[in-house]
Amino acid sequence: MTRSSKSAEVVSWISLGLSLVLFGIAFFLGRSNGQVAVAAISWQFLSAAMIWFVLALQFHLRSMAEQERLDMTELSHAGGDSTLFHPGGEKAELLAVAQRRLETYEKWCLPGFSLLIGTFQMIMAWQVSRIVMAAAEVTPKEPLITAVLMTAAAFASFLMSRYATGMSAEPAWRPLRAGSSALLALSVLCFALAVGLAWALFQQSVIVDVMAWVVLILLGVLGIETVLNVVFDIYRPRIKGRYNKAAFDSRIIGIVNGPGGFFQGAASAMDYQFGFKVSQTWFYLLLEKAMVPLILFGALTLYLCSCLVIVETGEEGVLEHFGRPVLVQGEPVRLKPGLSLKWPWPIDRAYVYATERVRALYVGYVPKINPETLEPERGELLWGTAHHEEEFSVLVASGTVEDEDHEGALPVSLVKANMPVHYKIRDLHDYVYSHADPDAALEVICYQELAKFAASATIDVGQQQGESLLGAGRARAKRVLKDNVQRAADEQSLGVEIVFLGLQGIHPPPDVAKDYQAVVGAVQQKQALILEAQTVRILSLTTLAGSVEEAHALYRLLKAYQAARGQAEKQAELEARLDAAMMQAKGDIFRILREAQAAAFEKVTLARATGQRFAGQVQAYQAAPEIYTSYLRLQALAEVLPEVRKYVIVDDPNASRVTIIDLQEKLMPDLYDLGAIEETNSP
């Protein structure tokens, strides 16, 4: 017995060392090459190493207990009638320290280690799931070397698993089945991952991606099973002398890892779990007989399902026969929406694409993704802050540098340009077969066209507004860029249609945003002054001549008239045309000419009237000089003193009468004064 336990202990220690070595290899390859599936398998190797460590301790304690019993048996034979070392005595039980240590280990330490292993497996499954969901879909690095090492790991694990499984057929070595089951699962996983890595050499990383999920799911399932086994073992009845499986001994893997094969292992597992002979029921016996035909029928049905191709609405598919596109009359076959038939895999393979779905491409920036909706976040687009998770700069022109302080500086600037591009598949055959990665090719084209257009444009808001990315030229830039990208995509036969191309968030780097704003503000003030001057010019010319065109025509005539000095005939002709144009003009010219004509007519008329009146005055004076002079004198007094009361007294200068005039005004005049008043007021 001692020898047999010692052999199991040696196997456990060797398996522990092998598991640790394979853990280090897988962990290093997974981290260095960025392969999540290989890194996940490394944690599975570490959990297997923990199982082998627990088994090594158990067999070590068993070996010590067996050696102790052997020593006590020899001492009992040598001691004769002494009962001190007799196997059945109470004193012998007190001296059996190794046996009590083994019983304590199997009763308390094994469940504790099982709970620790199960918790470790669940935690690592959760951590690996986060890494798998966060990792981008990339082509594995160094797949050939990793595939070779995984194949070697699978071979070594399989050999050690089979050897330990064979030893577990002995009742004393039955605990080895827990470690052999873990190594068997790892050998299968390593072999499947090696196949996936070999397939990745042909740019097909689907198997590697699937294996990452398989490993983390297996880790989680084994961890949950181990914890549940710990709980179930508390209530499961224990029969003395019967082997009790450890909680970390997986019943799921043990079905295929048993020494007697799959069905015997499954029957033993069900008998152990349910407590009665489930394997002797008619249903199990029928299932055992019909299992192979059912599996074959199911596998054949699944294989024949590969003859069906279902294309949804808004999708199209291409069909390949032994890796080559199927052609009918020189045209590739396109699978339309609906159900189509083909030869089974791998003779025919169908690839279905959503041709009506609008795809998005972010050029010049990496958007911030909302973790809840997995959609790009839309925030405020301000010059002084970054708009997205990461932004790239493009080179644009900024005019000639004329400042003496910056003499020799290049007339270029850097701006952040965000260009979202929406496209869909137009020609599926070109999209699939013209390029290995048409989406990446389209992205490269977009970056090239954006860089070329930005290098030929400017950011000055000046006279070249049609070419400025920061001014009114943005609308034109979108149209030009869309046409250029579509033309380049058609030249390279990408088979895509540009649905939308936008220029959003064009701004300078946040560090120099204030300087850009100052320059733009100065340019805007300059433009405002220019526009204001143009407004005054148009208003002045319109007010002067009625319209800008008429003012320019008059100016040209006047300039030609001045240039024709010394040429009498031509000057006379131009003078006539200028006079006619002046007469037909509107605005202030029309008003000034009409006012001048009116003033001239008024002066001529007044001069003529004055001359005629003077001739009449001469005749009146000659007819009665005294009367005329008196009349003029009285008229002058009336005009000079319009508000003064005037009295005219007519009397003979030779008379001796004295005339007294009372100029005081009475408040209540009497009847006698009425005549005097009337006489006074009369002219």
Reported as a pLDDT band with limits 50, 70 and 90, residue 667 is: low
SS3 (DSSP) at 566: coil
User: pTM value?
Assistant: 0.45
To the nearest 10°, report the CA torsion of 42, 45, 49, 51: 130
**Do residues 428 and 353 lie in contact, with contact meaning Cβ atoms separated by under 8 Å?**
yes
Q: For position 119, what pLDDT does the model report?
A: 92
Of 644 and 676, the one with more pLDDT: 644
Domain boundaries along the sequence of the chain: 2-237, 289-357, 365-521, 602-681
**pLDDT computed for residue 24 by the predictor:** 92
What's the chain's average pLDDT? 77
Residue 195 above 80 pLDDT?
yes
How would residue 356 be classed by pLDDT, with cut points 50, 70 and 90? confident
Residue 511, H or E segment: none
- Please give the average per-residue pLDDT across 51-76, as a whole number: 86
pLDDT tens digits, 413-462 = 677 777 888 889 888 888 888 888 888 888 888 888 888 887 777 665 44
Output the CA angle 330-333-339, nearest 5 degrees: 160
CA 634 to chain centre: 104
pLDDT number for residue 678 = 45
Is-cis flag, bond preceding 346, omega within 30? yes
Question: Stretch 71-94: mean pLDDT, rounded?
Answer: 59
The greatest distance separating any two alpha carbons of the chain, rounded to the nearest whole angstrom, comes to 209
CATH number 3.30.479.30 given to 365-521: yes
Give the residue-averaged pLDDT of 643-654.
74
Task: Provide mean pLDDT across the span 546-561.
Answer: 77
* Coil/strand/helix, residue 318: strand
Q: pLDDT confidence of 677, banded at 50, 70, 90?
A: very low
Determine the average pLDDT of the residues in 466-483: 71
Confidence of residue 14 (pLDDT cuts 50, 70, 90): very high
Question: 509 pLDDT exceeds 80?
Answer: no
Residue 93 pLDDT = 58
Q: Which residue has the tokens 């019983």?
A: 103
Rounded to an integer, the average pLDDT of 466-479 is: 67
Query: Bigger pLDDT: 580 or 338?
Result: 338
Q: What percent of the chain has pLDDT over 70?
A: 74
CB within 8 A of 569, min separation 6: which ones?
Answer: none
Task: Give the mean pLDDT of 483-508.
Answer: 84
With cut-offs at 50, 70 and 90, classify the pLDDT of residue 69: confident
Dump pLDDT digits (tens) for 279-336: 555 555 655 566 667 777 777 887 788 788 888 888 888 888 887 888 777 777 788 8
453: exposed, middle or buried (Cβ count in 10 Å: 0-12, 13-18, 19+) = buried
Q: What is the pLDDT of residue 43?
A: 92
Tell me if 176 sits within 8 A of 11, measured CB to CB. Answer: yes
Does the pLDDT value for residue 476 go beyond 70? yes
Residue 51 pLDDT more than 90? yes
Q: At what angle do helices 110-134 and 36-78 cross, to 10 degrees?
A: 170
Q: What is the mean pLDDT of residues 159-169?
A: 85
Tell me the CB-side half-sphere exposure of residue 100, using CA atoms within 13 A.
6
Three-state secondary structure readout of 263-313:
HHHHHHHHHHHHCCCHHHCHHHHHHHHHHHHHHHHHHHHHHHHHHEEEECC
Check residue 385 and give its pLDDT: 62
DSSP 604-647: HHHHHHHHHHHHHHHHHHHH-HHHHHHHHHHHHHHHH-TTS---
Within 13 Å of residue 34, how many CA atoms lie on the same side as its CB? 9
Average pLDDT for residues 343-349, to the nearest whole number? 81
Least confident of 333-347, 433-447, 497-511, 620-634: 497-511
Q: Lowest-pLDDT range, 266-270, 460-464, 515-519? A: 460-464
Q: What is the DSSP string of 411-426?
A: SEEEEEEEEEEEEEES
For the stretch 215-258, pLDDT in tens is 889 999 999 999 998 888 887 766 666 667 888 888 778 766 65
Cα–Cα dist 174/154, whole Å: 23
Kindly state the tokens that stand for 517. Answer: 């704003």
Q: Measure the CA–CA gap between 87 and 99, rounded to whole angstroms.
A: 12
Give the lowest-confidence range in 2-11, 447-456, 460-469, 607-616: 460-469
Poorest-pLDDT segment among 235-249, 382-396, 622-636: 382-396
